[in-house]
Amino acid sequence: MELEILEVKDKTKTPIQTINKKDKPKVYFTIDRLTSSLPLTTDQIFKIFKNNNSDILKNLTINEKNIIENDASCRCFSMRKKKNNYSRKCKGCQVISRLIKTNYLTSDEIELFSGRNKNMFLQIYTGPLMKEVLYEKKEIVDRMLFYFYSNLKTLESYNITVNYYCTENKEYNYIINSIIMNCILREEKLSLYNNFIWGFVCNSTITVIKKLSIFRNIDQLCSSPYYSNYSSPILSSQERKLSKNTVYMIIKQLVFLLKTLSKHHFIHGEPCLDYISYTSEKITILQETFPLKLVLEPSCYTSQNYNNKRYFHNLDNKYLNFGVPFEKIDVHINGSKNYFIHYNILSEYDEMSILYYKIGNKSKIFSKTRNEYGIPICYKSFDFVCFMVSFVKDKYFYATFKESEKLMNIWKLLWKTDEYDRIMEEIENLEENNYYHIFNLLRKYHIRFDAMGYFYNELFKNIDSGVYQGQNV
Protein backbone atom coordinates (compact mmCIF):
# COMPACT_ATOMS: atom_id res chain seq x y z
CA MET A 1 0.00 0.00 0.00
CA GLU A 2 1.42 3.33 -1.06
CA LEU A 3 1.90 5.99 1.60
CA GLU A 4 -0.10 9.15 1.16
CA ILE A 5 2.04 12.26 0.89
CA LEU A 6 0.82 15.32 2.76
CA GLU A 7 0.95 18.26 0.44
CA VAL A 8 1.08 21.71 1.94
CA LYS A 9 -0.55 24.15 -0.45
CA ASP A 10 -0.65 27.16 1.85
CA LYS A 11 2.37 27.61 4.19
CA THR A 12 0.66 30.30 6.21
CA LYS A 13 -1.82 27.77 7.57
CA THR A 14 0.72 25.18 8.70
CA PRO A 15 2.09 24.52 12.22
CA ILE A 16 5.53 25.39 10.86
CA GLN A 17 4.66 29.06 10.85
CA THR A 18 3.54 28.89 14.45
CA ILE A 19 6.76 27.22 15.53
CA ASN A 20 8.94 29.68 13.66
CA LYS A 21 7.04 32.70 14.93
CA LYS A 22 9.35 35.05 16.76
CA ASP A 23 8.52 35.79 20.38
CA LYS A 24 7.88 39.38 21.26
CA PRO A 25 10.61 40.85 23.45
CA LYS A 26 9.64 40.94 27.12
CA VAL A 27 8.78 44.36 28.45
CA TYR A 28 10.65 45.40 31.60
CA PHE A 29 8.01 47.38 33.45
CA THR A 30 9.61 50.18 35.43
CA ILE A 31 8.33 53.21 37.26
CA ASP A 32 10.26 55.42 34.81
CA ARG A 33 8.10 54.22 31.89
CA LEU A 34 4.87 55.10 33.69
CA THR A 35 2.84 57.90 32.10
CA SER A 36 -0.70 59.12 32.63
CA SER A 37 -1.79 57.56 29.32
CA LEU A 38 0.06 54.21 29.55
CA PRO A 39 -2.45 51.33 29.85
CA LEU A 40 -1.51 48.87 32.61
CA THR A 41 -3.10 45.76 34.09
CA THR A 42 -2.95 45.00 37.82
CA ASP A 43 -0.32 42.31 37.15
CA GLN A 44 1.81 44.82 35.23
CA ILE A 45 1.58 47.26 38.13
CA PHE A 46 2.91 44.54 40.45
CA LYS A 47 5.74 43.97 38.00
CA ILE A 48 6.57 47.66 38.33
CA PHE A 49 6.66 47.23 42.11
CA LYS A 50 8.95 44.22 41.87
CA ASN A 51 11.31 45.75 39.33
CA ASN A 52 11.52 49.06 41.15
CA ASN A 53 12.38 47.28 44.41
CA SER A 54 15.17 45.43 42.60
CA ASP A 55 16.48 48.70 41.15
CA ILE A 56 16.39 50.38 44.58
CA LEU A 57 18.36 47.53 46.15
CA LYS A 58 20.87 47.43 43.29
CA ASN A 59 21.49 51.17 43.42
CA LEU A 60 21.83 51.14 47.19
CA THR A 61 24.08 48.11 47.66
CA ILE A 62 26.19 48.25 44.49
CA ASN A 63 26.24 51.88 43.42
CA GLU A 64 25.71 53.25 46.95
CA LYS A 65 22.98 55.58 45.70
CA ASN A 66 19.82 56.25 47.69
CA ILE A 67 17.05 55.98 45.13
CA ILE A 68 13.36 55.77 46.03
CA GLU A 69 10.52 57.30 44.03
CA ASN A 70 10.28 60.86 45.34
CA ASP A 71 8.24 63.75 43.95
CA ALA A 72 8.21 67.01 45.90
CA SER A 73 5.81 68.77 43.53
CA CYS A 74 2.83 66.40 43.87
CA ARG A 75 -0.05 67.82 45.90
CA CYS A 76 -2.05 64.60 46.22
CA PHE A 77 -0.37 63.57 49.47
CA SER A 78 -0.57 59.89 48.46
CA MET A 79 -4.13 60.13 47.17
CA ARG A 80 -5.52 61.60 50.39
CA LYS A 81 -6.83 64.78 48.72
CA LYS A 82 -10.31 64.69 47.19
CA LYS A 83 -9.51 66.97 44.25
CA ASN A 84 -6.70 65.58 42.13
CA ASN A 85 -5.60 66.14 38.55
CA TYR A 86 -4.36 62.80 37.21
CA SER A 87 -1.82 64.27 34.81
CA ARG A 88 -0.21 66.25 37.65
CA LYS A 89 0.04 63.33 40.07
CA CYS A 90 3.37 61.81 41.01
CA LYS A 91 4.05 58.30 39.74
CA GLY A 92 3.26 56.77 43.13
CA CYS A 93 -0.16 58.43 43.25
CA GLN A 94 -0.79 57.41 39.64
CA VAL A 95 -0.20 53.79 40.58
CA ILE A 96 -2.57 53.95 43.56
CA SER A 97 -5.26 55.68 41.51
CA ARG A 98 -5.21 52.78 39.04
CA LEU A 99 -5.96 50.33 41.85
CA ILE A 100 -8.99 52.16 43.28
CA LYS A 101 -12.40 53.12 41.89
CA THR A 102 -12.62 56.61 43.39
CA ASN A 103 -10.47 59.68 42.78
CA TYR A 104 -8.96 59.52 46.26
CA LEU A 105 -8.38 57.04 49.06
CA THR A 106 -11.45 56.54 51.20
CA SER A 107 -9.84 53.83 53.33
CA ASP A 108 -6.43 52.50 54.32
CA GLU A 109 -7.27 49.23 52.56
CA ILE A 110 -7.62 48.47 48.84
CA GLU A 111 -9.22 45.31 47.46
CA LEU A 112 -7.91 44.02 44.12
CA PHE A 113 -10.54 42.82 41.65
CA SER A 114 -8.40 41.46 38.82
CA GLY A 115 -5.12 39.73 38.00
CA ARG A 116 -3.17 37.06 39.81
CA ASN A 117 -3.70 38.83 43.12
CA LYS A 118 -7.48 39.07 42.76
CA ASN A 119 -9.30 39.36 46.12
CA MET A 120 -6.08 40.42 47.84
CA PHE A 121 -6.27 43.37 50.22
CA LEU A 122 -3.53 46.01 50.27
CA GLN A 123 -2.84 48.28 53.22
CA ILE A 124 -1.74 51.85 52.50
CA TYR A 125 0.29 53.42 55.29
CA THR A 126 1.11 57.12 55.05
CA GLY A 127 3.07 59.27 57.45
CA PRO A 128 4.88 62.60 57.52
CA LEU A 129 8.38 62.67 56.06
CA MET A 130 10.31 63.73 59.16
CA LYS A 131 13.80 62.75 57.97
CA GLU A 132 15.56 62.40 54.63
CA VAL A 133 15.33 59.04 52.83
CA LEU A 134 19.03 58.19 52.64
CA TYR A 135 21.73 56.03 54.22
CA GLU A 136 25.12 57.33 55.30
CA LYS A 137 28.18 55.30 56.12
CA LYS A 138 29.01 55.23 59.85
CA GLU A 139 32.69 54.46 60.35
CA ILE A 140 32.37 54.98 64.11
CA VAL A 141 30.22 51.85 64.27
CA ASP A 142 33.02 49.96 62.53
CA ARG A 143 35.35 50.93 65.37
CA MET A 144 32.77 49.88 67.96
CA LEU A 145 32.32 46.59 66.14
CA PHE A 146 36.05 45.96 66.34
CA TYR A 147 35.82 46.44 70.11
CA PHE A 148 33.06 43.82 70.36
CA TYR A 149 34.97 41.51 68.07
CA SER A 150 38.09 41.81 70.23
CA ASN A 151 36.24 41.21 73.50
CA LEU A 152 33.50 38.76 72.47
CA LYS A 153 35.02 36.78 69.60
CA THR A 154 34.90 33.62 71.71
CA LEU A 155 31.18 34.11 72.18
CA GLU A 156 29.89 35.57 68.92
CA SER A 157 31.06 35.55 65.32
CA TYR A 158 31.35 39.08 63.91
CA ASN A 159 32.26 40.09 60.39
CA ILE A 160 34.34 43.20 60.96
CA THR A 161 34.71 43.80 57.21
CA VAL A 162 31.04 44.77 56.87
CA ASN A 163 30.39 48.50 56.34
CA TYR A 164 27.60 50.03 58.41
CA TYR A 165 25.06 52.40 56.83
CA CYS A 166 22.58 54.38 58.91
CA THR A 167 19.36 56.24 58.11
CA GLU A 168 17.48 58.59 60.42
CA ASN A 169 14.21 57.76 58.65
CA LYS A 170 12.59 54.73 60.30
CA GLU A 171 10.07 54.10 57.48
CA TYR A 172 12.89 54.09 54.93
CA ASN A 173 14.79 51.58 57.04
CA TYR A 174 11.69 49.38 57.12
CA ILE A 175 11.35 49.62 53.32
CA ILE A 176 14.98 48.75 52.59
CA ASN A 177 15.19 45.90 55.09
CA SER A 178 11.89 44.49 53.81
CA ILE A 179 13.33 44.41 50.29
CA ILE A 180 16.61 42.87 51.50
CA MET A 181 14.78 40.24 53.56
CA ASN A 182 12.66 39.13 50.60
CA CYS A 183 15.69 39.12 48.31
CA ILE A 184 17.58 36.85 50.75
CA LEU A 185 14.62 34.47 50.97
CA ARG A 186 14.37 34.29 47.16
CA GLU A 187 18.07 33.45 46.99
CA GLU A 188 17.54 30.77 49.65
CA LYS A 189 14.46 29.47 47.77
CA LEU A 190 12.34 29.91 50.89
CA SER A 191 8.97 31.56 50.16
CA LEU A 192 8.37 32.92 53.67
CA TYR A 193 8.29 36.47 52.31
CA ASN A 194 7.12 39.47 54.29
CA ASN A 195 4.08 41.51 53.16
CA PHE A 196 5.92 44.56 51.85
CA ILE A 197 4.92 45.55 48.31
CA TRP A 198 6.30 49.04 47.54
CA GLY A 199 7.14 52.42 49.02
CA PHE A 200 7.48 55.97 47.71
CA VAL A 201 7.56 59.62 48.76
CA CYS A 202 4.86 62.09 47.68
CA ASN A 203 5.70 65.67 48.62
CA SER A 204 6.13 65.57 52.40
CA THR A 205 4.45 62.17 52.80
CA ILE A 206 6.07 58.74 52.82
CA THR A 207 3.85 55.88 51.73
CA VAL A 208 4.23 52.13 52.30
CA ILE A 209 2.06 49.58 50.47
CA LYS A 210 1.72 46.18 52.14
CA LYS A 211 -0.25 43.04 51.52
CA LEU A 212 -2.73 42.17 54.27
CA SER A 213 -2.54 38.63 55.60
CA ILE A 214 -5.74 36.60 55.85
CA PHE A 215 -5.16 36.01 59.56
CA ARG A 216 -3.61 39.05 61.22
CA ASN A 217 -3.16 37.43 64.63
CA ILE A 218 -3.64 34.15 66.52
CA ASP A 219 -7.10 35.24 67.65
CA GLN A 220 -8.29 35.34 64.03
CA LEU A 221 -6.44 32.12 63.25
CA CYS A 222 -8.21 30.44 66.13
CA SER A 223 -11.56 31.37 64.58
CA SER A 224 -10.89 29.11 61.60
CA PRO A 225 -11.94 25.45 61.91
CA TYR A 226 -9.04 24.49 59.63
CA TYR A 227 -6.41 25.56 62.17
CA SER A 228 -8.16 25.22 65.55
CA ASN A 229 -10.78 23.32 67.49
CA TYR A 230 -13.35 25.96 66.52
CA SER A 231 -16.44 24.19 65.25
CA SER A 232 -19.34 26.20 66.58
CA PRO A 233 -20.02 29.87 67.39
CA ILE A 234 -21.31 28.65 70.72
CA LEU A 235 -17.84 27.49 71.76
CA SER A 236 -16.54 29.84 74.45
CA SER A 237 -13.28 31.71 74.03
CA GLN A 238 -11.85 29.85 77.04
CA GLU A 239 -12.32 26.56 75.25
CA ARG A 240 -10.82 27.65 71.94
CA LYS A 241 -7.27 26.71 71.04
CA LEU A 242 -5.09 26.08 68.02
CA SER A 243 -4.77 22.56 66.68
CA LYS A 244 -1.60 20.64 67.45
CA ASN A 245 -0.61 20.63 63.76
CA THR A 246 -0.99 24.42 63.59
CA VAL A 247 1.29 24.96 66.58
CA TYR A 248 3.94 22.74 65.04
CA MET A 249 3.61 24.53 61.69
CA ILE A 250 4.12 27.91 63.31
CA ILE A 251 7.15 26.93 65.39
CA LYS A 252 8.89 25.06 62.58
CA GLN A 253 8.48 27.96 60.17
CA LEU A 254 9.63 30.52 62.72
CA VAL A 255 12.74 28.54 63.61
CA PHE A 256 13.67 27.82 60.01
CA LEU A 257 13.04 31.41 58.91
CA LEU A 258 15.24 32.90 61.64
CA LYS A 259 17.88 30.25 60.98
CA THR A 260 17.99 31.26 57.32
CA LEU A 261 18.15 34.99 58.07
CA SER A 262 20.85 34.45 60.70
CA LYS A 263 23.32 33.82 57.85
CA HIS A 264 23.03 37.56 57.30
CA HIS A 265 23.19 38.46 61.02
CA PHE A 266 19.51 39.43 61.03
CA ILE A 267 18.26 41.51 63.97
CA HIS A 268 14.52 42.16 64.13
CA GLY A 269 14.60 44.97 66.68
CA GLU A 270 11.18 44.48 68.27
CA PRO A 271 10.49 40.72 68.27
CA CYS A 272 6.94 39.89 69.40
CA LEU A 273 3.62 38.71 67.95
CA ASP A 274 2.78 42.23 66.74
CA TYR A 275 4.94 41.50 63.68
CA ILE A 276 3.64 38.00 62.85
CA SER A 277 0.60 37.14 60.77
CA TYR A 278 -0.60 34.11 58.78
CA THR A 279 -2.02 33.32 55.38
CA SER A 280 -3.51 30.23 53.75
CA GLU A 281 -0.66 29.45 51.37
CA LYS A 282 1.28 26.23 50.92
CA ILE A 283 4.88 26.33 52.10
CA THR A 284 7.45 23.52 51.94
CA ILE A 285 10.34 23.24 54.42
CA LEU A 286 12.72 20.29 54.44
CA GLN A 287 10.38 18.26 52.24
CA GLU A 288 7.45 18.91 54.58
CA THR A 289 4.50 20.88 53.14
CA PHE A 290 2.32 23.09 55.34
CA PRO A 291 -1.10 24.51 54.38
CA LEU A 292 -0.46 27.64 56.45
CA LYS A 293 2.27 30.24 55.94
CA LEU A 294 3.81 32.37 58.69
CA VAL A 295 4.56 35.99 57.74
CA LEU A 296 7.20 37.92 59.67
CA GLU A 297 7.33 41.68 59.16
CA PRO A 298 10.53 43.64 59.84
CA SER A 299 10.42 46.56 62.26
CA CYS A 300 11.85 50.05 61.85
CA TYR A 301 14.84 48.84 63.93
CA THR A 302 15.58 45.79 61.77
CA SER A 303 19.16 45.43 60.52
CA GLN A 304 20.95 42.80 58.43
CA ASN A 305 23.95 42.26 56.15
CA TYR A 306 23.71 42.27 52.38
CA ASN A 307 26.53 42.53 49.84
CA ASN A 308 29.01 43.22 52.64
CA LYS A 309 26.99 46.16 53.92
CA ARG A 310 24.67 46.52 56.90
CA TYR A 311 21.64 48.83 57.04
CA PHE A 312 20.13 50.13 60.26
CA HIS A 313 18.21 53.04 61.79
CA ASN A 314 19.41 55.55 64.37
CA LEU A 315 17.51 58.70 65.18
CA ASP A 316 19.72 60.57 67.64
CA ASN A 317 23.00 59.79 65.84
CA LYS A 318 24.87 59.30 69.14
CA TYR A 319 27.33 56.42 69.45
CA LEU A 320 28.82 55.66 72.84
CA ASN A 321 30.72 52.58 73.95
CA PHE A 322 29.74 51.51 77.45
CA GLY A 323 31.49 48.15 77.30
CA VAL A 324 30.24 44.56 77.10
CA PRO A 325 26.39 44.52 77.07
CA PHE A 326 26.03 41.63 79.54
CA GLU A 327 25.80 41.72 83.30
CA LYS A 328 26.84 38.10 83.59
CA ILE A 329 27.95 35.06 81.57
CA ASP A 330 27.46 31.64 83.12
CA VAL A 331 27.75 27.93 82.37
CA HIS A 332 24.99 25.55 83.42
CA ILE A 333 24.05 21.89 82.90
CA ASN A 334 20.31 21.17 82.57
CA GLY A 335 20.37 17.83 80.75
CA SER A 336 20.18 19.19 77.21
CA LYS A 337 22.90 19.12 74.56
CA ASN A 338 25.02 22.14 73.77
CA TYR A 339 24.97 23.36 70.16
CA PHE A 340 27.29 26.30 70.67
CA ILE A 341 30.50 25.19 68.99
CA HIS A 342 33.59 27.30 69.35
CA TYR A 343 37.15 26.11 69.67
CA ASN A 344 38.49 29.06 71.64
CA ILE A 345 36.38 28.66 74.76
CA LEU A 346 37.42 27.07 78.07
CA SER A 347 38.66 23.48 78.00
CA GLU A 348 36.13 22.33 80.61
CA TYR A 349 33.28 23.47 78.39
CA ASP A 350 31.84 20.27 76.85
CA GLU A 351 28.78 19.22 74.82
CA MET A 352 26.54 19.13 77.90
CA SER A 353 27.60 22.50 79.34
CA ILE A 354 25.32 25.33 78.22
CA LEU A 355 26.67 28.88 77.94
CA TYR A 356 24.23 31.61 79.06
CA TYR A 357 24.21 35.40 79.13
CA LYS A 358 22.23 37.66 81.45
CA ILE A 359 21.45 41.21 80.32
CA GLY A 360 20.56 42.46 83.80
CA ASN A 361 21.69 46.02 84.54
CA LYS A 362 23.17 46.33 81.02
CA SER A 363 19.74 46.49 79.39
CA LYS A 364 20.21 50.05 78.07
CA ILE A 365 23.47 49.38 76.26
CA PHE A 366 22.26 45.95 75.11
CA SER A 367 19.24 47.56 73.47
CA LYS A 368 21.24 50.45 72.01
CA THR A 369 23.90 48.14 70.61
CA ARG A 370 21.36 46.07 68.72
CA ASN A 371 18.65 48.57 67.74
CA GLU A 372 20.47 51.90 67.43
CA TYR A 373 23.99 50.85 66.51
CA GLY A 374 22.95 47.92 64.30
CA ILE A 375 25.54 45.58 65.86
CA PRO A 376 24.20 41.98 65.81
CA ILE A 377 24.73 41.03 69.45
CA CYS A 378 23.12 37.64 70.20
CA TYR A 379 21.60 37.35 66.74
CA LYS A 380 21.34 33.57 67.14
CA SER A 381 19.32 33.68 70.33
CA PHE A 382 17.64 36.83 71.57
CA ASP A 383 15.07 37.47 68.81
CA PHE A 384 14.04 33.83 68.76
CA VAL A 385 13.59 33.68 72.55
CA CYS A 386 11.50 36.88 72.49
CA PHE A 387 9.22 35.47 69.80
CA MET A 388 8.81 32.21 71.73
CA VAL A 389 7.94 34.04 74.97
CA SER A 390 5.37 36.06 73.02
CA PHE A 391 3.84 32.85 71.63
CA VAL A 392 3.76 31.14 75.04
CA LYS A 393 2.03 34.20 76.46
CA ASP A 394 -0.82 33.82 73.95
CA LYS A 395 -3.57 31.75 75.58
CA TYR A 396 -4.80 30.09 72.38
CA PHE A 397 -1.29 29.02 71.44
CA TYR A 398 -0.17 27.93 74.89
CA ALA A 399 -3.34 25.88 75.52
CA THR A 400 -2.16 23.49 72.79
CA PHE A 401 1.58 23.98 73.27
CA LYS A 402 1.50 22.71 76.87
CA GLU A 403 -0.32 19.53 75.80
CA SER A 404 2.67 18.44 73.73
CA GLU A 405 5.20 16.63 75.90
CA LYS A 406 7.88 17.02 73.24
CA LEU A 407 7.46 20.78 72.89
CA MET A 408 7.27 21.36 76.63
CA ASN A 409 10.46 19.37 77.21
CA ILE A 410 12.31 21.40 74.56
CA TRP A 411 10.92 24.63 75.99
CA LYS A 412 11.82 23.76 79.59
CA LEU A 413 15.42 22.92 78.70
CA LEU A 414 15.79 26.28 77.02
CA TRP A 415 16.23 27.77 80.51
CA LYS A 416 18.36 27.31 83.58
CA THR A 417 16.76 24.74 85.86
CA ASP A 418 16.39 27.00 88.89
CA GLU A 419 14.85 29.86 86.85
CA TYR A 420 12.20 28.01 84.83
CA ASP A 421 9.30 28.19 87.32
CA ARG A 422 9.82 31.92 87.93
CA ILE A 423 9.98 32.63 84.21
CA MET A 424 6.71 30.80 83.57
CA GLU A 425 5.04 32.67 86.40
CA GLU A 426 6.22 36.02 85.02
CA ILE A 427 5.10 35.14 81.50
CA GLU A 428 1.64 34.28 82.81
CA ASN A 429 1.46 37.59 84.69
CA LEU A 430 2.92 39.66 81.84
CA GLU A 431 0.95 42.88 81.66
CA GLU A 432 0.98 43.18 77.86
CA ASN A 433 2.24 40.89 75.12
CA ASN A 434 4.59 43.36 73.46
CA TYR A 435 8.33 43.76 73.03
CA TYR A 436 8.76 46.31 75.83
CA HIS A 437 7.33 44.02 78.49
CA ILE A 438 9.01 40.90 77.08
CA PHE A 439 12.41 42.61 77.12
CA ASN A 440 11.96 43.75 80.72
CA LEU A 441 11.12 40.18 81.66
CA LEU A 442 13.99 38.48 79.83
CA ARG A 443 16.72 40.86 81.00
CA LYS A 444 16.36 39.36 84.51
CA TYR A 445 17.10 35.79 83.40
CA HIS A 446 19.83 33.78 81.70
CA ILE A 447 19.47 33.15 77.96
CA ARG A 448 21.25 30.42 76.01
CA PHE A 449 23.72 31.60 73.38
CA ASP A 450 22.66 28.61 71.28
CA ALA A 451 18.89 29.06 71.84
CA MET A 452 17.96 28.97 68.15
CA GLY A 453 20.38 26.18 67.25
CA TYR A 454 19.22 24.10 70.21
CA PHE A 455 15.53 24.49 69.38
CA TYR A 456 16.12 23.81 65.69
CA ASN A 457 18.02 20.60 66.29
CA GLU A 458 15.54 19.31 68.83
CA LEU A 459 12.61 20.12 66.56
CA PHE A 460 14.09 18.72 63.36
CA LYS A 461 16.42 16.03 64.74
CA ASN A 462 14.42 13.21 63.15
CA ILE A 463 14.80 14.75 59.71
CA ASP A 464 17.78 13.43 57.73
CA SER A 465 18.21 16.37 55.36
CA GLY A 466 19.07 19.91 56.33
CA VAL A 467 19.98 19.23 59.95
CA TYR A 468 21.79 22.09 61.62
CA GLN A 469 25.51 21.68 62.01
CA GLY A 470 27.69 23.72 64.30
CA GLN A 471 27.53 27.49 63.90
CA ASN A 472 25.56 27.66 60.67
CA VAL A 473 22.60 28.85 62.71
Q: Which residues of 323-362 are buried (b: 16+ CB within 10 A; e: fewer)?
A: ebbbeeeeebebebebbbeeeeeeeeeeeeebbbbbbeeb
| pLDDT at residue 202 tops 60 | yes
In three state form, how does the secondary structure of 437-468 look?
A: HHHHHHCCCEEECCHHHHHHHHHHCCCCCCCC
Q: Please report the pLDDT score of residue 233 as a whole number.
A: 58
pLDDT for the residue numbered 232: 56
Q: What is the edge-to-edge ordering of all strands in the sheet holding 163-167?
A: 136-137, 163-167, 309-313, 304-306
Q: What is the pTM of this model?
A: 0.89
pLDDT of residue 8: 52
The pLDDT of residue 29? 79
* Residue 195 in this model has a pLDDT that exceeds 60: yes
Average pLDDT rounded to a whole number, residues 336-345: 70
Flag whether pLDDT at 333 surpasses 80: yes
Instruction: Report the mean per-residue pLDDT for the chain.
Output: 86
pLDDT value at position 303? 97
pLDDT tens-digit readout, 212-224: 999 999 999 998 9
User: Quick one: pLDDT band at residue 130, thresholds 50, 70, 90?
Assistant: confident
The per-residue pLDDT for 238 is 62
Are 374 and 310 contacting, i.e. CB atoms less than 8 angstroms apart?
yes
Confidence band, pLDDT 50/70/90 cuts, at residue 467: very low
Q: Which of 139-148, 431-440, 461-470 is predicted with the least confidence, judged by mean pLDDT?
A: 461-470
pLDDT tens by residue, 15-64: 555 555 556 556 667 888 777 777 888 999 999 999 999 999 999 998 88
Q: What is the C-alpha separation between 420 and 108, in angstroms, rounded? A: 43
pLDDT tens, position by position, 236-251: 566 789 999 999 999 9
- Confirm if 215 and 277 have CB atoms less than 8 A apart: yes
Compute the distance between CA of residue 249 and CA of residue 244 in angstroms, rounded to an integer. Answer: 9
Supply the pLDDT for residue 140: 83
pLDDT, residue 42, reads 92
pLDDT at 276 exceeding the cut of 90: yes
**Rounded-to-integer distance, Cα 173 and Cα 197, Å:** 14
pLDDT value at 462 more than 70: no
Range in 18-27, 66-75, 266-275 with the lowest mean pLDDT: 18-27
What average pLDDT does the segment 323-341 reach? 86
Q: Is residue 468 predicted with pLDDT exceeding 50?
A: no
What pLDDT sits at residue 2? 53
Rounded distance, CA 110 to CA 124, Å?
8
User: What's the CA gap between 12 and 424, in Å, rounded?
Assistant: 78
Report pLDDT digits (tens) over 154-181.
666 667 788 999 999 999 999 999 999 9
pLDDT at 18: 55
Residue 313, number of CB atoms within 10 A of its CB:
26
> Which of 23-37, 67-81, 261-275, 454-468 has the largest mean confidence?
261-275
